Structures are given as C-alpha cells and as structure tokens.
Amino acid sequence: MSNSIEHDAQNQEFTTLRKGLDAELAYSRPIDGVIDFTHTFVDEQLRGQGVADELARAGLAFAKENNLKVKTSCTFMAGFVKRHHAEYEAIMA
C-alpha cells in the first residue's frame, strides 16, 4: 500500500486520507464470527486510483487474520470478492 489504511474498531471502519481527502470501508459485526462489509466511500477526486481496492484488501486481510466469515452487503465489496474469488472463497460466509 502506498499510504496507510487505519482500522477504527470503535466506529467499525477502515479509513485512509489521501491528498487531504477521505476514503472509508464500513462494516458491521452482525453475529459472532462474521463481518459484513456494508459501505465503501471514496472521494470523487480519488476514484480510479485503486484506493477502494486497497481498503477492500485491508478489510479482507483483517477478516482472515481474525478468522471471520465475510458477508458483502456493499455492492463494491461484492464485486471485489467476485473478481478475486479464488483468493477469498475460503472466508466467505
């Protein structure tokens, strides 16, 4: 990652600040052992630069490290794991 992704467990989100602009991947923990990625936001000026992919990879790495099963209520995240099915198949709920 070119810039750091921060995990804010209290607010249930992964965030980054690029060029003074925010991007975030929000999640919920609906039941024990499950993480549901619910929303991705990348400021319009940052779009198309891979920022959302970096957030997705950070969130999914967190899920793997914590033995969590993944749900994807967020359409971006659903598409991301579909495109990278082989890499994330094992952790999908």
Range of the domain at 3: 1-24+42-65
Measure the CA–CA gap between 32 and 73, rounded to whole angstroms. Answer: 17
Question: What distance lies between CA 71 and its chain's CA centroid?
Answer: 11
In a domain, 88, yes or no: no
Quick one: pLDDT at residue 52? 97
Is 1's pLDDT higher than 70?
A: no
Measure the CA–CA gap between 75 and 83, rounded to whole angstroms. Answer: 12
Quick one: pLDDT at residue 32? 97
Measure the CA–CA gap between 27 and 25, rounded to whole angstroms. Answer: 7
Is 62's pLDDT higher than 80?
A: yes
In a domain, 36, yes or no: no
CB 42 within 8 A of CB 80: no
Domain count across the chain: 1
In a domain, 4, yes or no: yes
